[in-house]
């Protein structure tokens, strides 16, 4: 295949991909218009979701999505950074690095429904016991249970990106620091991490996008209650979980349109998180972590 044919093939592939994405977005926009026209801007801040009276507000699901995703990040960041630093700085070779890397890859490959089943059998009873101790409603299912499992699900992505960011630190920087008499810990905390901080932050944001869109495990664990959560032990719903649980049972065209509008909101949020993450990664690769 000559260069001309190869370039034509690449151009055709790019056009097809752009067309598919554009068609995808246009479909969501067009299908969501009836609900948006009916509710107006109130669709974003309304707290009532009642298919019977055709009153739709997305705020409970936006709140549930942000609460579970942010809490999952807060729980996952310390473990992910620790694992990434361990693999990227201290275990660059040897059987321990191979074993840890294999375990993280296996964790990343587990289907979300399996995480959900594990959460039902293990996490929900633990959360129920904790809620009883602190005097909260002992549902077990809810924001905290969903966030705990979600945190475990995003650890592989965040730790892998942390490891790759640290492996991309130029060897000359480390060698120069060691030549000046710095210890390993000082090199890691004073040289490697500052250099890679933007790429690590990009990994955190990309993991946030993964958490925002998680469906099955969250649907199984969050309790599926259409209300704004007021505590970590509250039942709730996310944008993804409400779509998964109600779309096939939509009782009217306006109900289905409202679900499409929720999907459009979720797409916008995840795209924003992904764009910020990739922008930070590009900046991290083109600078010295300043």
Q: Is residue 261 part of a domain?
A: no
d(CA 176, CA 166): 16
Query: Is the residue at 115 inside a domain?
Result: yes
Q: How many whole angstroms separate alpha carbon 228 and alpha carbon 217?
A: 20
User: Is residue 274 assigned to a domain?
Assistant: yes
pLDDT at 233: 92
- Separation CA 167–CA 173 (nearest Å): 12
Q: Do the domain assignments include residue 260?
A: no
Q: What's the CA gap between 66 and 211, in Å, rounded? A: 9
Q: Is residue 74 part of a domain?
A: yes
Residue 138 domain flag? yes
CA distances from 236 to 60, 211, 219, 228, 239 (A): 8, 16, 10, 7, 10
Q: Which two tokens stand for residue 128?
A: 């129920």
Residue 287's pLDDT is 54
State how many domains the chain has. 1
Give a yes or no: residue 142 inside a domain.
yes
- Residues lower than pLDDT 50 in the chain: 288-290
User: Three-class SS of residue 286?
Assistant: coil
In tens, the pLDDT along 69-123 reads 999 999 999 999 998 888 888 877 778 878 888 888 888 888 999 999 999 999 9
- Given a contact cutoff of 8 angstroms between Cβ atoms, the answer to whether 84 and 169 are in contact is no
Q: CA of 77: how far to CAs of 80, 162, 191, 254, 267, in Å? A: 5, 10, 20, 40, 24
Give the number of other CB atoms < 10 A from CB of residue 141: 22
In a domain, 65, yes or no: yes
Alpha carbons 159 and 85: distance in angstroms, whole number: 8
CATH of the domain at 208: 1.10.3720.10
Pick from 256, 220, 257, 264: nearest CA to 239: 264
By residue range, what is the domain housing residue 187?
A: 60-240+269-285
Q: Which of 112, 91, 87, 89 is nearest to 222 (CA)?
A: 112
Contacts of 15 (CB under 8 A, 6+ apart): none
Tokens of 42: 């109130």
Residue that is written with structure tokens 């945190």 in the block: 151
- In the DSSP assignment, the letter for residue 234 is S
Q: Is 57 exposed, middle or buried (0-12, 13-18, 19+ CB in 10 A)?
A: buried
Amino acid 288: pLDDT: 44
- Report residue 95 as tokens: 């059987």
């Amino acid at each position: 295949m000559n260069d001309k044919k190869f370039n034509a093939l690449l151009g055709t592939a790019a056009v097809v991909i752009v067309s598919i994405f554009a068609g995808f977005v246009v479909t969501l926009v067009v299908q969501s218009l009836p609900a948006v026209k009916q509710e107006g801007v109130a669709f974003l801040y309304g707290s009532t979701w009642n298919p019977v009276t055709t009153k739709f507000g997305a705020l409970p699901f936006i709140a549930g999505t942000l609460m579970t995703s942010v809490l999952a990040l807060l729980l996952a960041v310390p473990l992910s950074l620790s694992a990434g630093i361990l693999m990227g700085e201290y275990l660059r070779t040897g059987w321990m690095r191979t074993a840890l890397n294999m375990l993280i890859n296996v964790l990343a490959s587990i289907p979300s429904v399996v995480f959900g089943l594990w959460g039902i059998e293990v996490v929900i009873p633990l959360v129920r016991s904790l809620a009883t101790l602190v005097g909260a409603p002992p549902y077990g299912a809810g924001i905290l249970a969903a966030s705990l499992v979600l945190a475990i699900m995003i650890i592989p992505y965040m730790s892998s990106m942390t490891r790759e960011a640290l492996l991309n630190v130029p060897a000359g920087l480390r060698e120069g620091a060691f030549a000046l008499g710095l210890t390993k810990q000082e090199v890691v905390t004073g040289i490697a991490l500052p250099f890679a901080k933007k790429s690590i932050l990009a990994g955190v944001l990309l993991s946030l996008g993964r958490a925002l869109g998680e469906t099955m495990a969250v649907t199984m664990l969050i309790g599926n209650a259409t209300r704004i959560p007021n505590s970590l032990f509250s039942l709730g719903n996310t944008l993804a979980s409400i779509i998964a649980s109600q779309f096939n049972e939509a009782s009217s065209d306006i109900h289905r349109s409202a679900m499409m509008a929720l999907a459009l909101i979720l797409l916008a949020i995840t795209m924003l998180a992904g764009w910020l993450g990739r922008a930070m990664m590009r900046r991290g690769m083109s600078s010295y972590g300043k």
